[in-house]
A and B are shown apart, each in its own frame.
Chain A
Protein backbone atom coordinates (compact mmCIF):
# COMPACT_ATOMS: atom_id res chain seq x y z
CA UNK A 1 0.00 0.00 0.00
CA UNK A 2 1.12 3.57 -0.67
CA UNK A 3 0.60 6.75 1.33
CA UNK A 4 -2.36 7.45 -0.93
CA UNK A 5 -4.61 5.04 0.98
CA UNK A 6 -4.03 6.64 4.38
CA UNK A 7 -3.86 10.20 3.07
CA UNK A 8 -7.12 9.77 1.16
CA UNK A 9 -8.72 8.31 4.29
CA UNK A 10 -7.43 11.20 6.38
CA UNK A 11 -8.47 13.70 3.74
CA UNK A 12 -12.03 12.30 3.70
CA UNK A 13 -12.29 12.19 7.48
CA UNK A 14 -11.02 15.77 7.88
CA UNK A 15 -13.05 17.24 5.03
CA UNK A 16 -15.27 19.79 6.81
CA UNK A 17 -18.01 19.72 4.15
CA UNK A 18 -18.16 15.93 4.17
CA UNK A 19 -18.22 15.83 7.98
CA UNK A 20 -20.89 18.51 8.20
CA UNK A 21 -23.28 16.77 5.79
CA UNK A 22 -22.62 13.21 6.95
CA UNK A 23 -22.47 13.79 10.71
CA UNK A 24 -23.58 17.26 11.89
CA UNK A 25 -26.55 17.43 9.48
CA UNK A 26 -27.63 13.87 10.32
CA UNK A 27 -27.31 14.53 14.07
CA UNK A 28 -30.24 16.89 13.62
CA UNK A 29 -32.29 13.91 12.42
CA UNK A 30 -31.07 11.79 15.35
CA UNK A 31 -32.44 14.36 17.77
CA UNK A 32 -35.66 14.66 15.75
CA UNK A 33 -36.11 10.86 15.91
CA UNK A 34 -35.57 10.71 19.64
CA UNK A 35 -37.02 13.93 21.01
CA UNK A 36 -39.70 14.86 18.44
CA UNK A 37 -40.94 11.72 16.67
CA UNK A 38 -40.27 9.49 19.69
CA UNK A 39 -42.34 11.30 22.31
CA UNK A 40 -45.02 8.60 22.29
CA UNK A 41 -42.65 5.64 22.65
CA UNK A 42 -43.13 3.88 26.02
CA UNK A 43 -40.06 3.45 28.18
CA UNK A 44 -40.08 -0.32 27.68
CA UNK A 45 -37.02 -2.22 26.42
CA UNK A 46 -38.75 -3.99 23.51
CA UNK A 47 -40.44 -0.78 22.34
CA UNK A 48 -37.23 1.26 22.57
CA UNK A 49 -35.25 -1.44 20.74
CA UNK A 50 -37.86 -1.60 17.94
CA UNK A 51 -37.92 2.17 17.63
CA UNK A 52 -34.11 2.40 17.63
CA UNK A 53 -33.97 -0.32 14.94
CA UNK A 54 -36.48 1.68 12.86
CA UNK A 55 -34.31 4.80 13.20
CA UNK A 56 -30.94 3.17 12.64
CA UNK A 57 -31.34 2.23 8.95
CA UNK A 58 -32.60 5.61 7.66
CA UNK A 59 -30.08 7.51 9.85
CA UNK A 60 -27.05 5.50 8.69
CA UNK A 61 -28.16 5.55 5.05
CA UNK A 62 -28.64 9.31 5.15
CA UNK A 63 -25.22 9.69 6.77
CA UNK A 64 -23.24 7.53 4.35
CA UNK A 65 -25.22 8.81 1.36
CA UNK A 66 -24.13 12.34 2.32
CA UNK A 67 -20.55 11.10 2.61
CA UNK A 68 -20.89 9.35 -0.76
CA UNK A 69 -21.78 12.70 -2.33
CA UNK A 70 -18.49 14.06 -0.98
CA UNK A 71 -16.58 10.99 -2.18
CA UNK A 72 -18.00 11.43 -5.70
CA UNK A 73 -16.55 14.96 -5.73
CA UNK A 74 -13.12 13.75 -4.54
CA UNK A 75 -13.06 11.08 -7.28
CA UNK A 76 -13.88 13.73 -9.86
CA UNK A 77 -11.15 16.00 -8.48
CA UNK A 78 -8.58 13.19 -8.62
CA UNK A 79 -9.68 12.14 -12.12
CA UNK A 80 -7.70 15.03 -13.63
CA UNK A 81 -4.41 13.47 -12.59
CA UNK A 82 -5.29 9.76 -12.76
CA UNK A 83 -4.04 9.17 -16.29
CA UNK A 84 -0.57 10.53 -15.49
CA UNK A 85 -0.46 9.00 -12.01
CA UNK A 86 -1.18 5.49 -13.28
CA UNK A 87 1.61 5.74 -15.86
CA UNK A 88 4.49 7.40 -14.06
CA UNK A 89 4.02 6.58 -10.36
CA UNK A 90 3.69 3.34 -8.35
CA UNK A 91 -0.10 3.47 -8.61
CA UNK A 92 -1.20 1.17 -11.42
CA UNK A 93 -4.86 1.56 -12.48
CA UNK A 94 -5.94 -1.45 -10.39
CA UNK A 95 -3.88 -0.36 -7.39
CA UNK A 96 -5.34 3.14 -7.56
CA UNK A 97 -8.86 1.72 -7.65
CA UNK A 98 -8.14 -0.70 -4.79
CA UNK A 99 -6.64 2.00 -2.56
CA UNK A 100 -9.39 4.47 -3.42
CA UNK A 101 -12.07 1.86 -2.67
CA UNK A 102 -10.47 0.75 0.58
CA UNK A 103 -9.93 4.26 1.92
CA UNK A 104 -13.44 5.38 0.92
CA UNK A 105 -15.14 2.32 2.42
CA UNK A 106 -13.09 2.71 5.62
CA UNK A 107 -14.19 6.35 5.84
CA UNK A 108 -17.83 5.30 5.37
CA UNK A 109 -17.49 2.64 8.09
CA UNK A 110 -15.98 5.17 10.51
CA UNK A 111 -18.86 7.56 9.81
CA UNK A 112 -21.39 4.73 10.29
CA UNK A 113 -19.70 3.88 13.60
CA UNK A 114 -19.93 7.48 14.76
CA UNK A 115 -23.64 7.58 13.92
CA UNK A 116 -24.24 4.26 15.70
CA UNK A 117 -22.54 5.48 18.90
CA UNK A 118 -24.33 8.80 18.64
CA UNK A 119 -27.72 7.14 18.18
CA UNK A 120 -27.12 4.88 21.17
CA UNK A 121 -25.99 7.84 23.27
CA UNK A 122 -29.04 9.96 22.47
CA UNK A 123 -31.43 7.00 23.00
CA UNK A 124 -29.78 6.22 26.35
CA UNK A 125 -30.06 9.83 27.39
CA UNK A 126 -33.78 10.00 26.50
CA UNK A 127 -34.98 6.55 27.60
CA UNK A 128 -32.37 5.52 30.15
CA UNK A 129 -31.85 2.28 28.16
CA UNK A 130 -29.11 1.30 25.72
CA UNK A 131 -30.79 -0.58 22.86
CA UNK A 132 -27.93 -2.73 21.55
CA UNK A 133 -28.43 -4.69 18.29
CA UNK A 134 -29.60 -8.31 18.56
CA UNK A 135 -27.33 -9.54 15.74
CA UNK A 136 -24.23 -7.30 15.68
CA UNK A 137 -22.29 -9.46 13.18
CA UNK A 138 -25.17 -9.47 10.68
CA UNK A 139 -25.64 -5.74 11.18
CA UNK A 140 -21.90 -5.10 10.65
CA UNK A 141 -22.01 -7.11 7.42
CA UNK A 142 -24.98 -5.08 6.14
CA UNK A 143 -23.18 -1.81 7.02
CA UNK A 144 -20.12 -3.07 5.12
CA UNK A 145 -22.28 -3.91 2.08
CA UNK A 146 -24.01 -0.53 2.40
CA UNK A 147 -20.63 1.27 2.42
CA UNK A 148 -19.52 -0.74 -0.61
CA UNK A 149 -22.77 0.09 -2.39
CA UNK A 150 -22.42 3.81 -1.67
CA UNK A 151 -18.81 3.80 -2.93
CA UNK A 152 -19.77 1.99 -6.14
CA UNK A 153 -22.62 4.44 -6.64
CA UNK A 154 -20.23 7.39 -6.19
CA UNK A 155 -17.78 5.85 -8.62
CA UNK A 156 -20.58 5.22 -11.12
CA UNK A 157 -21.75 8.84 -10.95
CA UNK A 158 -18.19 10.17 -11.31
CA UNK A 159 -17.47 7.87 -14.26
CA UNK A 160 -20.75 8.83 -15.89
CA UNK A 161 -19.76 12.51 -15.76
CA UNK A 162 -16.37 11.73 -17.27
CA UNK A 163 -17.90 9.43 -19.90
CA UNK A 164 -20.50 12.02 -20.87
CA UNK A 165 -17.89 14.80 -20.75
CA UNK A 166 -20.23 16.74 -18.47
CA UNK A 167 -18.08 17.99 -15.57
CA UNK A 168 -20.34 21.03 -15.20
CA UNK A 169 -23.08 18.73 -13.92
CA UNK A 170 -20.78 17.59 -11.09
CA UNK A 171 -22.47 19.59 -8.31
CA UNK A 172 -25.91 18.37 -9.32
CA UNK A 173 -24.95 14.72 -9.89
CA UNK A 174 -22.94 14.45 -6.70
CA UNK A 175 -26.11 15.13 -4.69
CA UNK A 176 -27.90 12.13 -6.19
CA UNK A 177 -26.82 9.70 -3.38
CA UNK A 178 -27.99 12.20 -0.74
CA UNK A 179 -31.38 12.67 -2.42
CA UNK A 180 -31.88 8.91 -2.85
CA UNK A 181 -30.77 8.45 0.76
CA UNK A 182 -34.14 9.92 1.82
CA UNK A 183 -36.05 6.97 0.27
CA UNK A 184 -36.05 4.95 3.52
CA UNK A 185 -37.55 8.00 5.25
CA UNK A 186 -40.38 8.14 2.74
CA UNK A 187 -41.09 4.47 3.36
CA UNK A 188 -41.77 5.24 7.02
CA UNK A 189 -45.08 6.80 5.95
CA UNK A 190 -45.65 5.17 2.55
CA UNK A 191 -45.86 1.43 2.04
CA UNK A 192 -43.61 0.63 -0.93
CA UNK A 193 -44.95 -2.92 -1.19
CA UNK A 194 -42.91 -5.06 -3.59
CA UNK A 195 -41.11 -1.93 -4.83
CA UNK A 196 -39.01 -2.08 -1.67
CA UNK A 197 -36.90 -4.78 -3.37
CA UNK A 198 -36.10 -2.45 -6.26
CA UNK A 199 -34.58 0.24 -4.04
CA UNK A 200 -31.20 -0.75 -2.59
CA UNK A 201 -31.61 2.00 0.01
CA UNK A 202 -34.83 0.41 1.30
CA UNK A 203 -33.27 -3.05 1.23
CA UNK A 204 -30.40 -1.78 3.38
CA UNK A 205 -32.81 -0.11 5.82
CA UNK A 206 -34.95 -3.27 6.04
CA UNK A 207 -31.92 -5.49 6.65
CA UNK A 208 -30.58 -3.07 9.27
CA UNK A 209 -33.95 -3.27 11.07
CA UNK A 210 -33.93 -7.06 10.84
CA UNK A 211 -30.44 -7.51 12.29
CA UNK A 212 -30.86 -4.72 14.85
CA UNK A 213 -34.20 -5.81 16.34
CA UNK A 214 -34.33 -9.47 15.37
CA UNK A 215 -37.81 -8.87 13.89
CA UNK A 216 -38.85 -8.79 10.26
CA UNK A 217 -39.74 -5.24 9.17
CA UNK A 218 -42.81 -4.21 7.15
CA UNK A 219 -42.37 -3.12 3.52
CA UNK A 220 -43.25 0.42 4.59
CA UNK A 221 -45.75 2.57 6.41
CA UNK A 222 -44.08 2.09 9.83
CA UNK A 223 -45.91 5.10 11.25
CA UNK A 224 -49.22 4.45 9.49
CA UNK A 225 -52.10 2.48 11.03
CA UNK A 226 -53.17 -0.87 9.63
CA UNK A 227 -51.48 -4.16 8.81
CA UNK A 228 -48.51 -4.16 6.47
CA UNK A 229 -46.87 -6.89 4.46
CA UNK A 230 -43.51 -7.99 5.80
CA UNK A 231 -40.24 -7.80 3.94
CA UNK A 232 -38.80 -11.03 2.58
CA UNK A 233 -35.33 -10.69 4.13
CA UNK A 234 -33.77 -13.20 1.74
CA UNK A 235 -35.16 -11.36 -1.26
CA UNK A 236 -33.93 -8.02 0.14
CA UNK A 237 -30.45 -9.55 0.61
CA UNK A 238 -30.45 -10.94 -2.93
CA UNK A 239 -31.58 -7.55 -4.27
CA UNK A 240 -28.78 -5.72 -2.44
CA UNK A 241 -26.14 -8.17 -3.67
CA UNK A 242 -27.65 -7.88 -7.15
CA UNK A 243 -27.30 -4.10 -7.02
CA UNK A 244 -23.66 -4.46 -5.95
CA UNK A 245 -22.94 -6.83 -8.84
CA UNK A 246 -24.80 -4.57 -11.29
CA UNK A 247 -22.86 -1.50 -10.15
CA UNK A 248 -19.55 -3.35 -10.39
CA UNK A 249 -20.42 -4.43 -13.95
CA UNK A 250 -21.58 -0.94 -14.95
CA UNK A 251 -18.47 0.66 -13.43
CA UNK A 252 -16.22 -1.81 -15.22
CA UNK A 253 -18.13 -1.16 -18.47
CA UNK A 254 -17.78 2.60 -18.08
CA UNK A 255 -14.08 2.22 -17.33
CA UNK A 256 -13.61 0.09 -20.43
CA UNK A 257 -15.56 2.59 -22.56
CA UNK A 258 -13.04 5.31 -21.71
CA UNK A 259 -11.53 4.66 -25.11
CA UNK A 260 -10.90 1.08 -24.17
CA UNK A 261 -7.95 1.23 -21.83
CA UNK A 262 -9.27 1.63 -18.34
CA UNK A 263 -8.94 3.82 -15.31
CA UNK A 264 -5.94 5.76 -16.54
CA UNK A 265 -8.25 7.44 -19.00
CA UNK A 266 -10.55 8.78 -16.34
CA UNK A 267 -10.16 12.51 -16.27
CA UNK A 268 -12.18 15.57 -16.94
CA UNK A 269 -11.47 17.21 -20.28
Chain B
Protein backbone atom coordinates (compact mmCIF):
# COMPACT_ATOMS: atom_id res chain seq x y z
CA UNK B 1 0.00 0.00 0.00
CA UNK B 2 1.13 3.54 -0.69
CA UNK B 3 -0.10 5.93 1.98
CA UNK B 4 0.28 9.64 1.30
CA UNK B 5 -0.38 12.37 3.85
CA UNK B 6 -0.30 16.16 3.45
CA UNK B 7 1.95 15.84 0.40
CA UNK B 8 3.03 19.17 -1.00
CA UNK B 9 5.44 19.73 -3.87
CA UNK B 10 6.77 23.13 -4.95
CA UNK B 11 9.20 23.86 -7.77
CA UNK B 12 10.01 27.34 -6.45
CA UNK B 13 9.29 29.47 -3.42
CA UNK B 14 7.31 32.01 -5.40
CA UNK B 15 5.40 29.54 -7.54
CA UNK B 16 2.07 27.92 -6.85
CA UNK B 17 2.50 24.38 -5.42
CA UNK B 18 2.34 21.59 -7.97
CA UNK B 19 0.65 19.36 -5.38
CA UNK B 20 -1.41 21.03 -2.66
CA UNK B 21 -1.55 18.70 0.31
CA UNK B 22 -2.52 15.28 -1.07
CA UNK B 23 -3.99 12.76 1.39
CA UNK B 24 -4.77 9.32 0.06
CA UNK B 25 -4.12 5.60 0.30
CA UNK B 26 -3.50 3.48 -2.80
CA UNK B 27 -4.15 -0.16 -1.94
CA UNK B 28 -6.00 -1.49 -4.99
CA UNK B 29 -5.45 -1.30 -8.71
CA UNK B 30 -6.31 2.29 -9.47
CA UNK B 31 -6.71 4.77 -12.25
CA UNK B 32 -5.91 8.38 -11.60
CA UNK B 33 -7.90 10.50 -13.99
CA UNK B 34 -7.30 14.16 -14.49
CA UNK B 35 -6.70 16.78 -17.14
CA UNK B 36 -3.27 17.90 -18.29
CA UNK B 37 -1.38 19.82 -15.62
CA UNK B 38 -3.45 18.51 -12.73
CA UNK B 39 -0.44 17.00 -10.92
CA UNK B 40 -0.78 13.28 -11.81
CA UNK B 41 2.76 12.87 -13.10
CA UNK B 42 4.24 14.92 -10.25
CA UNK B 43 2.53 12.63 -7.75
CA UNK B 44 4.18 9.58 -9.35
CA UNK B 45 7.54 11.34 -9.56
CA UNK B 46 7.33 12.15 -5.85
CA UNK B 47 6.63 8.49 -5.00
CA UNK B 48 9.62 7.44 -7.14
CA UNK B 49 11.89 9.97 -5.42
CA UNK B 50 12.41 11.88 -8.67
CA UNK B 51 10.84 15.08 -7.34
CA UNK B 52 11.66 16.86 -4.11
CA UNK B 53 8.86 16.70 -1.58
CA UNK B 54 8.32 20.08 0.10
CA UNK B 55 6.27 18.69 2.98
CA UNK B 56 4.18 15.68 3.92
CA UNK B 57 4.93 11.99 3.97
CA UNK B 58 4.86 9.01 1.62
CA UNK B 59 4.81 5.51 3.13
CA UNK B 60 5.36 2.53 0.85
CA UNK B 61 4.40 -0.75 2.52
CA UNK B 62 4.93 1.07 5.82
CA UNK B 63 8.42 2.41 4.99
CA UNK B 64 9.13 6.11 4.67
CA UNK B 65 9.98 6.84 1.05
CA UNK B 66 12.97 8.98 2.08
CA UNK B 67 14.47 6.09 4.05
CA UNK B 68 14.20 3.51 1.28
CA UNK B 69 17.47 2.41 -0.32
CA UNK B 70 18.36 -0.56 -2.52
CA UNK B 71 14.99 -2.25 -1.99
CA UNK B 72 13.81 -4.35 -4.91
CA UNK B 73 10.23 -5.43 -5.51
CA UNK B 74 8.70 -2.33 -3.95
CA UNK B 75 8.12 0.18 -6.74
CA UNK B 76 8.68 0.31 -10.46
CA UNK B 77 7.75 3.01 -12.93
CA UNK B 78 7.72 3.72 -16.64
CA UNK B 79 9.44 7.12 -16.56
CA UNK B 80 12.04 7.26 -19.32
CA UNK B 81 14.58 9.01 -17.08
CA UNK B 82 14.57 5.97 -14.79
CA UNK B 83 16.09 3.95 -17.63
CA UNK B 84 19.04 6.20 -18.47
CA UNK B 85 21.75 4.56 -16.39
CA UNK B 86 23.71 3.53 -19.47
CA UNK B 87 23.82 4.58 -23.10
CA UNK B 88 23.23 1.19 -24.67
CA UNK B 89 20.76 -0.64 -26.91
CA UNK B 90 17.33 -1.58 -25.59
CA UNK B 91 18.17 -5.29 -25.30
CA UNK B 92 21.13 -4.55 -23.03
CA UNK B 93 19.08 -2.01 -21.13
CA UNK B 94 16.37 -4.62 -20.44
CA UNK B 95 19.03 -7.14 -19.40
CA UNK B 96 20.66 -4.60 -17.05
CA UNK B 97 17.45 -3.45 -15.36
CA UNK B 98 16.05 -6.94 -14.98
CA UNK B 99 19.34 -7.90 -13.25
CA UNK B 100 19.11 -4.87 -10.96
CA UNK B 101 15.54 -5.69 -9.83
CA UNK B 102 15.50 -9.50 -10.23
CA UNK B 103 12.85 -9.02 -12.88
CA UNK B 104 11.84 -11.24 -15.79
CA UNK B 105 13.31 -10.12 -19.12
CA UNK B 106 11.05 -12.61 -20.91
CA UNK B 107 7.98 -10.73 -19.67
CA UNK B 108 9.44 -7.43 -20.93
CA UNK B 109 10.02 -8.95 -24.37
CA UNK B 110 6.54 -10.56 -24.43
CA UNK B 111 4.82 -7.26 -23.65
CA UNK B 112 7.00 -5.35 -26.12
CA UNK B 113 6.28 -7.91 -28.84
CA UNK B 114 2.55 -7.79 -28.10
CA UNK B 115 2.75 -4.05 -28.59
CA UNK B 116 4.64 -4.32 -31.87
CA UNK B 117 8.32 -4.24 -30.88
CA UNK B 118 10.26 -7.39 -31.73
CA UNK B 119 13.45 -8.33 -29.86
CA UNK B 120 15.58 -7.97 -33.00
CA UNK B 121 14.33 -4.41 -33.38
CA UNK B 122 15.20 -3.61 -29.75
CA UNK B 123 18.65 -5.14 -30.14
CA UNK B 124 19.58 -2.59 -32.80
CA UNK B 125 18.33 0.58 -31.18
CA UNK B 126 19.07 2.72 -28.18
CA UNK B 127 16.10 4.09 -26.29
CA UNK B 128 16.73 7.62 -27.59
CA UNK B 129 16.51 6.28 -31.14
CA UNK B 130 12.90 5.11 -30.66
CA UNK B 131 9.76 7.15 -31.31
CA UNK B 132 7.94 8.60 -28.29
CA UNK B 133 5.32 5.82 -28.43
CA UNK B 134 7.96 3.08 -28.75
CA UNK B 135 9.90 4.51 -25.80
CA UNK B 136 6.75 4.43 -23.71
CA UNK B 137 6.16 0.77 -24.68
CA UNK B 138 9.70 -0.29 -23.69
CA UNK B 139 9.59 1.59 -20.39
CA UNK B 140 6.12 0.23 -19.53
CA UNK B 141 7.24 -3.31 -20.42
CA UNK B 142 10.28 -3.01 -18.13
CA UNK B 143 8.15 -1.61 -15.30
CA UNK B 144 5.69 -4.53 -15.57
CA UNK B 145 8.50 -7.11 -15.88
CA UNK B 146 10.11 -5.93 -12.62
CA UNK B 147 7.57 -7.87 -10.53
CA UNK B 148 7.28 -4.94 -8.10
CA UNK B 149 4.44 -4.68 -5.58
CA UNK B 150 3.56 -1.23 -6.92
CA UNK B 151 3.82 -0.36 -10.60
CA UNK B 152 3.35 3.31 -11.40
CA UNK B 153 2.50 3.94 -15.04
CA UNK B 154 2.49 7.48 -16.33
CA UNK B 155 0.23 7.83 -19.39
CA UNK B 156 0.99 4.30 -20.66
CA UNK B 157 -1.57 4.57 -23.48
CA UNK B 158 -0.07 7.73 -24.90
CA UNK B 159 0.50 7.46 -28.66
CA UNK B 160 -0.68 3.84 -28.87
CA UNK B 161 -3.17 2.78 -31.55
CA UNK B 162 -6.55 1.35 -30.37
CA UNK B 163 -5.54 -2.32 -30.90
CA UNK B 164 -2.39 -1.90 -28.81
CA UNK B 165 -4.32 -0.03 -26.12
CA UNK B 166 -6.58 -3.08 -25.79
CA UNK B 167 -3.61 -5.47 -25.51
CA UNK B 168 -1.88 -3.33 -22.91
CA UNK B 169 -5.09 -3.09 -20.90
CA UNK B 170 -5.13 -6.91 -20.64
CA UNK B 171 -1.54 -6.95 -19.37
CA UNK B 172 -2.40 -4.34 -16.75
CA UNK B 173 -5.53 -6.12 -15.61
CA UNK B 174 -3.72 -9.47 -15.23
CA UNK B 175 -0.72 -8.06 -13.32
CA UNK B 176 -0.43 -9.67 -9.88
CA UNK B 177 0.72 -6.57 -7.98
CA UNK B 178 -0.78 -3.15 -7.62
CA UNK B 179 -0.93 -1.17 -10.84
CA UNK B 180 -1.57 2.53 -10.48
CA UNK B 181 -1.80 4.40 -13.71
CA UNK B 182 -2.57 7.94 -14.59
CA UNK B 183 -4.29 9.10 -17.70
CA UNK B 184 -6.81 11.66 -18.86
CA UNK B 185 -8.63 9.18 -21.06
CA UNK B 186 -12.01 8.08 -19.70
CA UNK B 187 -12.72 5.31 -22.24
CA UNK B 188 -10.52 3.05 -20.07
CA UNK B 189 -13.24 2.79 -17.46
CA UNK B 190 -15.19 0.33 -19.60
CA UNK B 191 -12.22 -2.07 -19.70
CA UNK B 192 -11.12 -1.96 -16.06
CA UNK B 193 -14.33 -2.44 -14.13
CA UNK B 194 -12.77 -3.91 -10.95
CA UNK B 195 -10.48 -0.96 -10.45
CA UNK B 196 -10.80 2.16 -8.34
CA UNK B 197 -10.70 5.67 -9.73
CA UNK B 198 -9.17 8.80 -8.25
CA UNK B 199 -9.56 12.23 -9.79
CA UNK B 200 -7.01 15.01 -9.84
CA UNK B 201 -8.07 18.54 -10.58
CA UNK B 202 -6.00 21.65 -10.03
CA UNK B 203 -3.32 19.86 -7.96
CA UNK B 204 -5.79 18.24 -5.55
CA UNK B 205 -6.83 14.60 -5.40
CA UNK B 206 -10.38 13.26 -4.92
CA UNK B 207 -11.74 9.77 -4.46
CA UNK B 208 -11.67 6.84 -4.65
CA UNK B 209 -14.80 5.85 -6.50
CA UNK B 210 -15.46 2.44 -7.99
CA UNK B 211 -15.42 2.17 -11.76
CA UNK B 212 -18.89 0.61 -11.73
CA UNK B 213 -20.31 3.75 -10.13
CA UNK B 214 -18.63 5.91 -12.70
CA UNK B 215 -19.68 4.03 -15.79
CA UNK B 216 -23.16 5.51 -15.66
CA UNK B 217 -22.19 8.72 -13.91
CA UNK B 218 -23.06 12.11 -15.30
CA UNK B 219 -21.42 15.47 -14.85
CA UNK B 220 -23.26 18.36 -13.33
CA UNK B 221 -21.94 21.88 -12.88
CA UNK B 222 -23.77 22.53 -9.64
CA UNK B 223 -23.68 21.02 -6.16
CA UNK B 224 -25.73 17.80 -6.30
CA UNK B 225 -26.87 16.20 -3.03
CA UNK B 226 -26.62 12.66 -4.43
CA UNK B 227 -23.18 13.17 -6.00
CA UNK B 228 -20.65 10.35 -5.94
CA UNK B 229 -17.94 13.00 -5.87
CA UNK B 230 -17.79 16.79 -5.64
CA UNK B 231 -14.92 19.03 -6.62
CA UNK B 232 -14.26 22.43 -8.18
CA UNK B 233 -12.72 23.40 -11.51
CA UNK B 234 -11.97 27.01 -12.36
CA UNK B 235 -13.86 27.97 -9.18
CA UNK B 236 -17.02 26.25 -10.39
CA UNK B 237 -18.58 23.30 -8.55
CA UNK B 238 -18.59 20.01 -10.42
CA UNK B 239 -20.51 16.94 -9.30
CA UNK B 240 -20.15 13.45 -10.62
CA UNK B 241 -23.48 11.89 -9.90
CA UNK B 242 -25.67 8.95 -10.69
CA UNK B 243 -27.32 9.26 -14.08
CA UNK B 244 -30.72 10.76 -14.57
CA UNK B 245 -30.29 10.96 -18.33
CA UNK B 246 -30.12 14.68 -19.09
CA UNK B 247 -26.47 15.51 -18.43
CA UNK B 248 -23.18 14.59 -20.18
CA UNK B 249 -21.93 11.11 -19.34
CA UNK B 250 -18.45 11.05 -17.87
CA UNK B 251 -17.48 8.22 -20.24
CA UNK B 252 -18.62 10.24 -23.24
CA UNK B 253 -15.99 12.91 -22.62
CA UNK B 254 -13.10 10.80 -23.95
CA UNK B 255 -10.79 12.89 -21.81
CA UNK B 256 -11.18 15.09 -18.78
CA UNK B 257 -9.76 18.24 -20.37
CA UNK B 258 -13.31 18.55 -21.77
CA UNK B 259 -14.58 19.32 -18.27
CA UNK B 260 -12.90 22.71 -18.46
CA UNK B 261 -14.55 23.44 -21.80
CA UNK B 262 -17.92 22.39 -20.43
CA UNK B 263 -17.39 24.45 -17.28
CA UNK B 264 -16.57 27.51 -19.37
CA UNK B 265 -19.63 27.04 -21.59
CA UNK B 266 -21.78 26.65 -18.48
CA UNK B 267 -20.41 29.90 -17.09
CA UNK B 268 -21.40 31.74 -20.28
Contacts and interface: CB of A to CB of B under 8 A. Distances in A.
Contact of A88 (B75, B96, B99): B75
A81 to B, nearest CB: 5
A199 interface: no
B233 interface: no
B87 A86 contact: no
Nearest to B73: A88
A93 B70 CA distance: 8
A92 B100 CA distance: 11
Contacts of B70: 86-87, 89-92, 95
A27 to B, nearest CB: 24
Interface stretch (B20-28, B33-41, B78-86, B224-232): B78-86
B56 interface: no
Contacts of A251: none
A103 to B, nearest CB: 10
Q: How large is the interface on B (under 10, 10 to 19, 20 to 34, 35 or more residues)?
A: 20 to 34
A86 B99 CA distance: 14
Contacts of A11: 86-88
Interface residues of A, number: 29
Contacts, number: 89
B85 A81 contact: yes
A84 B69 contact: no
B72 A90 contact: yes
A88 B86 contact: no
Contacts of B66: 261
Contact of A84 (B48, B52, B87): B48
B87 A2 contact: no
B68 interface: yes
B96 A83 contact: no
A190 interface: no
A95 to B, nearest CB: 7
B50 interface: yes
A118 interface: no
A90 B101 contact: yes
A89 B76 CA distance: 9
B49 interface: yes
B55 interface: no
A93 B83 CA distance: 17
Given A3-B100, A88-B75, 19 more contacts: A7-B95, A11-B86, A74-B86, A78-B84, A80-B81, A81-B85, A83-B50, A84-B48, A84-B49, A84-B82, A85-B100, A87-B65, A87-B71, A88-B48, A88-B68, A88-B148, A90-B100, A259-B52, A267-B50
Interface of A: 2-4, 7-8, 11, 15, 74, 77-78, 80-93, 95, 259, 261, 264, 267
20 contacts: A2-B99, A3-B99, A8-B86, A74-B87, A77-B87, A78-B84, A81-B82, A81-B84, A81-B85, A84-B50, A84-B81, A85-B85, A87-B48, A87-B65, A87-B75, A88-B75, A88-B76, A90-B100, A92-B69, A261-B66
Give 6 closest A-B pairs by Cβ, nearest first. A92-B70, A89-B100, A3-B99, A80-B81, A81-B84, A84-B82
